[in-house]
Amino acid sequence: PTSLLDREYLPEPTPDSTTSDIVIDHEDRTDSIVSSGIQDMSSALRRAVKRSISEPEDGIDETEGESGVNEEDSAPDNQSILRQLEENEKISHMFRCARIQGLDTVEGLLLFGKEHLYVIDGFTLLKTREIRDIESLPPDCHEPILPASGAPRQTNTKKHCSKFAYDDIREVHKRRYLLQPMALEVFSGDGRNYLLAFPRKVRNKVYQRFMAFATGIADSAQQSVAGQKRTANVEQGAGLLSNLIGETSVTQRWVRGEISNFQYLMHLNTLAGRSYNDLMQYPVFPWILADYDSDQLDLSHPSTFRDFSKPMGAQSPERLDQFKKRYKEWDDPHGETPPYHYGTHYSSAMIVCSYLVRMEPFTQHFLRLQGGHFDLADRMFNSVREAWLSASRHNMADVKELIPEFFYLPEFL
């Protein structure tokens, strides 16, 4: 079929416009014009990658940049990006995106090809529709998708390229990032999952592209996190409830013993929009045990376990009474803050990093959240018992739950 660079998505450049994507339509131009346009996009991407190999930035010594990455180190990495683009690949859709990992975000491009999609770090689309290496652009020529973190701008960084076959994509879920509906999370059959943020108006367009290209998403729904029927739409709101109460639902599979408690809780976390890639929406697991003093646990005694019918703030009657008292007696002289029971959340980026502070990259994440230094030793996570007592009894500002690593990764302790 005939294709076209869709003019609806490619307005004439204006001083305040930003090109978020390049899209191919199927209506009103000849194949020769379209082929030329697609080849221009592909060759522009290849030229941009090659420039990052052969042309160092002005003012940067090729042999001793501050980042410690010289031309010899970066060339193989950039060549690997070129190798990941399939031979004679035809790119039909291209979107600006930001790949999110913990507190780190890397802007790049999402490319839809014939049988593969690519996530390539370090490149962007300009208002002139040119593909450019972000590091080669002055700061005032590039408007990032996500707010700047305040960290110094990195240069001469290695560029990461990931390739996914459409047949290997198992799930795509809409996600919120920074409390905004602007992200998608992509799960592949080989265990990879990416959290990608887009300009808000573009996110749903990208999702539709995934639905059109990765047809295996619907076919694999029976084994998916949602556990939906094969004919169901993966993101259909009404379907999510049936996933929890239907005959083939995750809940029924759990009741029948087909999946473990851990798997069931991970399903619920994923359905709730939580992700390992976002520390602000990290998976939450509950405290299970309440006895951290006995040499042997009596698993038949209720006092061995936390009360699962109540949140952490209500585990201790004495502390619960204090929360209720504060709520009843609350009086903000400015009238800005309404009464509340709990002043903190059961999960946050700081809670996750404090648990995992002994492992990278969480050590560096913790330092960033703490202003570059560790907290006082007695305020760091150093005892599971003390963490339980703080969250369940002693501390009015602590109602935190656990993270999945407590149940499978003893090395973080």
pLDDT tens for the chain, 413 residues: list them. Answer: 333 233 333 333 344 444 555 554 333 333 333 344 445 445 555 555 444 433 333 333 333 323 333 434 444 444 545 566 777 778 888 899 999 999 999 999 999 998 899 999 988 888 777 788 888 888 777 788 887 665 555 555 567 888 899 999 999 999 999 989 999 999 999 889 999 999 989 999 999 999 999 877 754 433 444 443 333 333 444 444 445 555 568 888 999 999 999 999 999 998 899 999 999 999 999 999 999 999 999 999 999 999 999 999 999 999 999 999 999 999 988 888 999 999 999 999 999 999 999 999 999 999 999 999 999 988 999 999 999 999 999 999 999 999 999 999 999 99
Q: Which structure tokens are listed for 170?
A: 């198992």
Q: Is the dihedral of CA 400, 405, 410, 413 positive or negative?
A: negative
Q: How far is CA 144 from CA 11, 165, 315, in A?
A: 19, 28, 44
Q: Are 67 and 155 in contact (CB under 8 A)?
A: yes
d(CA 81, CA 42): 13
Give the sign of the dihedral formed by CA 284, CA 285, CA 291, CA 295: negative
pLDDT of residue 226: 43
| Cα→Cα distances 148→102, 151, 152, 157, Å | 15, 8, 9, 17
Cis bond leading into 144, ω under 30°? no
Distance in angstroms (rounded) separating the CA atoms of residues 223 and 271:
14
CA 96 to centroid of chain Cα atoms:
16
The greatest distance separating any two alpha carbons of the chain, rounded to the nearest whole angstrom, comes to 78
- The model carries a pTM of 0.74
Q: Give the residue from 135, 106, 111, 107 showing the smallest Cα distance to 44.
A: 111
Distance of alpha carbon 31 from alpha carbon 107, whole angstroms? 32
CB 84 within 8 A of CB 69: no
Distances (CA, A) of 313 to 340, 395, 396, 408: 12, 10, 8, 26
Q: H-helix or E-strand containing 254?
A: helix 250-255
* Residue reference for tokens 């709730």: 272
**Amino acid identity, position 403:** I
Distance CA 274, CA 353 (A): 16
- How buried is 179 (Cβ within 10 angstroms: 0-12 exposed, 13-18 middle, 19+ buried)? exposed
Give the DSSP per-residue string, 119-178. EEETEEE-TTS-EEEGGGS-GGG---SS---SSPPP-SPPPPEEEEEGGGEEEEEEEEET
Q: What pLDDT score was predicted for residue 161?
A: 85
Predicted confidence at residue 250, as pLDDT, reads 87
Enumerate the CATH 1.10.1540.10 domain ranges in the chain, comma separated.
Answer: 302-412
Q: 206 vs 121, 209, 344, CA distance in Å?
A: 17, 5, 35
> Residue 11 — φ and ψ, nearest 5°?
-65, 160
- CATH class belonging to 302-412: mainly alpha
51 with 136: CB under 8 angstroms?
yes
Position of tokens 């935190």? 400
pLDDT of residue 80: 47
Q: Quick one: tokens of 115?
A: 């049988």
